[in-house]
Structure 1
Amino acid sequence: MNLSDQLHHIAKVLASKPAYYFMDQSSTYAELDGAVTKFASGLEKLGVKKGDHIALLLGNSPYFVISLYGALRLGAKVIPINPIYTPDEIGYILKNGDVKVVVALDLLLPLAEKMHHNLPDVEQYIVCETPQGQQAGTDVTILSVFPKLKPFTEVVATGDPSFAGPDLQEEDVAVILYTSGTTGKPKGAMLTHKNLYRNAKDSGDYLRINEDDRVITTLPMFHVFCLTVALNAPLMNGATILIDPKFSPKEIFRLARKYQPTVFAGVPTMYNFLLQYEEGNPDDLKSLRLCISGGASMPVALLKSFENKFNVLLSEGYGLSEASPVTCFNPLDRPRKPGSIGQSIMNVENKVVNELGEEVPVGEVGELIVRGPNVMKGYYKMPEDTAVTIRDGWLYTGDLARMDEEDYFYIVDRKKDMILVGGYNVYPREVEEVLYNHPDVVEVAVVGIPDPNLGEAVKCYVVSKNQQLTEKDLFEYCSEHLAKYKIPSAIVFLEELPKNTTGKILRRALKNQEVASSR
Structure 2
Amino acid sequence: MSFDPDLYRRTLRLAGRGQNGQDLNLSVIDAGPRDALRTIVFLHGMGGYAGYWHHQLNHFYEGSRVIAPDLRGHGLSDAPISTYSRDELLGDIEAVLALLDVPTQFILVTHSFGGALGTMYAYKHPERIEKLVIIGSAVRFDQLENAGRFLLRAPSWLLSFMFKILPVGKRYPPGHVIHAQYKNAVITYDGTAYLKALTCPSLVILGDKDNLFSTKAYQAIAKLIPNAQEVTLPQSAHQVMVERPEAVNRALDRFLGPVQIEAERRARRDRHRILEQERPWLKFYDGRTPYQIRPPQGPLQRHFEIAAKRFASTPAVQFLHTNISYKKLDKFANRFAEGMRKQGVEHGARVLIVLPNIPQAVIAYFAALKLGAVVTFMEGQAAQEVVCQRVVELGVKMVISMTNRYQDLHQSVLDAGAKTVAFTSYREFMGVRDWLLFTLNEHYTAGHRMPFLRKLKSNRQVYRFHELMSLKTDRPDTEPTVDDIAVIQYTSGAGEHAAKAVSLSHRNLVANALQIRHWLPESRVGDERILAVWTLGTGLAATVNLAPLLGATVILVPRTDPLTLLQTIKRTKPTFLPGSPRLYQLLSQVPNVRKFGMASIRVCFSGGANLPVEVQESFEKLTKGRVVDAYSTMEAGICIANPLAARKRSGSIGVPLPDVEVRLFDASTGQECGVDEVGEMWIRGPQVSQGYWNNPLATGHAMKDGWFHTGDLAKRDEDGFFYLMEREEDVIHPRLQDDGGQTGEELQDIYPSEIEEVLYELQEVAEVAVTSWREDNGVLEIVAFIVPRHNTAGTMEALNVDHLHDWCRSRLRPDARPTQFKIIAKLPHSATGKVIRKALRGLM
For the superposition of Structure 1 and Structure 2, which TM-score range results when normalised by the shorter chain?
0.7 to 0.9
Identity across the alignment (%)? 27
> Counterpart in 1 of 2:544?
231
CA, structure 1 residues 17+416, in 2 after alignment: closer, same or farther (shift >3 Å)? same
CA distance in 2, matches of 1:64, 1:197: 19
Task: Pick the aligned partner of 2:322 from 25, 31, 34.
Answer: 25
> Superposed, which structure 2 residues align to 1:93-112 within 5 Å?
93-112=390-409
TM-score normalised by length of structure 2: 0.50
**8 A Cα contact 2:600 2:623, kept in partner:** no
Q: Residues of 1 paired with 2:819 and 2:483: CA distance?
A: 49
**1:349 is matched with which residue?**
661
Is 1:518 the equivalent of 2:821? yes
Q: Would the alpha carbon gap of residues 266 and 234 (structure 1) be closer, same or farther in structure 2, given more than 3 Å must change? A: same
Letter in 1 for 2:349: D
Q: Which has the higher strand share?
A: 1
- Asked which structure has the greater CA Rg, the reply is 2
Cα distance in 1 for residues equivalent to 2:769 and 2:537: 21
**1:124 correspondence with 2:420:** yes
Find 1:257's aligned residue among 570, 574, 579: 570
Give aligned pairs, total: 444
Distance change (3 Å), C-alpha of 1:72 and 1:140: farther
Partner amino acid, structure 1, of 2:821: S
Shift in Å at residue 264 of structure 1? 1.1
Which residue is equivalent to 1:326? Answer: 638
Q: In 2 relative to 1, CA 345–140 (structure 1 residues): closer, same or farther, beyond 3 Å?
A: farther
**Change over 3 Å in CA distance of 1:49–1:286 after alignment to 2:** same
Amino acid at match of 1:517: Q
Does the Cα contact within 8 Å between 2:358 and 2:426 map onto a contact in 1?
no
Q: Distance in 1 between matches of 2:344 and 2:486?
A: 18
C-alpha separation in 2, matches of 1:308 and 1:282: 14
Where 1:203 maps in the other structure, the secondary structure is helix
Matched residue type, 2:576: V
In the alignment, which of 440, 449, 458 is matched to residue 138 of structure 1? 449
TM-score (norm 1): 0.79
1:399 pairs with 2:705: no
Counterpart-to-counterpart distance in 2, 1:87 and 1:272: 32
* Matched residue SS, 1:4: helix
2-side partners of 1:295 and 1:199: how far apart?
Answer: 17
Please state how far the C-alpha of 1:29 moved relative to its aligned partner: 0.6
SS at match of 1:91: helix
Matches of residues 100-499 of structure 1 in structure 2 within 5 Å? 100-113=397-410, 115-116=412-413, 118-119=415-416, 121-131=417-427, 132-135=442-445, 136-141=447-452, 143-144=456-457, 146-156=459-469, 158-181=470-493, 184-208=497-521, 209=523, 210-223=525-538, 226-281=539-594, 284-323=597-636, 325-355=637-667, 356-417=669-730, 456=769, 498=776
Q: Is the 8 A contact 2:643 2:655 kept in 1?
A: yes
Residue 84 of structure 1 and its aligned partner are, at CA, apart by 2.5
**Distance in 2 between residues matched to 1:99 and 1:499, nearest whole Å:** 49
Taking the aligned partners of 2:540 and 2:402, their CA distance within structure 1 comes to 19
Task: Map Cα deviations across residues 319-354 of structure 1 (whole Å, 9 max, x no partner).
Answer: 10011x111011012223231111101111112112
Cα 1:30/1:171, change in 2 over 3 Å = same
Cα deviation digits, residues 477-516 of structure 1 (max 9, x gap)? xxxxxxxxxxxxxxxxxxx96387xxxxx9xx45558742
Separation (CA, whole Å) in 2 of partners of 1:384 and 1:19: 40
Q: Report the RMSD for the aligned CA atoms in angstroms.
A: 2.8
Letter in 1 for 2:384: P
Q: Which residue of 1 aligns with 2:113?
A: none
Describe the shift of the 1:310–1:333 C-alpha distance in structure 2 as closer, same or farther (beyond 3 A): closer
Residues 400, 422 of structure 2: 8 Å contact kept: yes
Deviation (angstroms), 1:261: 1.9
8 Å contact kept, 1:42–1:160: no
- Residue 94 of structure 1 and its aligned partner are, at CA, apart by 1.6
Separation of aligned partners in 2, 1:168 and 1:499: 59
Between 108-117 and 294-303, report the one with greater CA deviation.
108-117
1:43-54 to 2 correspondences below 5 Å = 43-54=340-351
CA distance in 1, matches of 2:569, 2:448: 33
Aligned-residue offset at 1:140: 4.2
Greater relative contact order, per chain length (Cα 8 Å cut-off, separation 6+): 1
1:126 aligns to what SS in structure 2? strand
Task: Measure how far apart 1:117 and its partner are.
Answer: 5.8
- Is contact 2:311–2:526 with CA below 8 Å preserved after alignment? no
CA contact (8 A) 2:399 2:413 kept: no
Q: 1-side partners of 2:769 and 2:516: how far apart?
A: 28
Distance in 1 of aligned mates of 2:528 and 2:782: 43
Contact 2:424 2:464 in 1 (8 A): yes
Q: Which amino acid aligns with 1:96?
A: E
Q: Secondary structure at the match of 2:542?
A: helix
TM-aligned CA deviation for residue 365 of structure 1: 0.2
Question: Does the C-alpha gap of structure 1 residues 65 and 43 become closer, same or farther in structure 2, counting only changes over 3 Å?
Answer: same
**Structure 1 unpaired stretches of 5+:** 419-446, 462-495, 501-505
Determine if contact 1:329/1:342 at 8 Å carries over to the other structure: yes
Q: Go from structure 1 to structure 2 and tell me whether the alpha carbon gap of 1:359 and 1:28 turns closer, same or farther (over 3 Å shift).
A: same
How far does residue 287 in structure 1 lie from its aligned partner after superposition?
A: 1.7
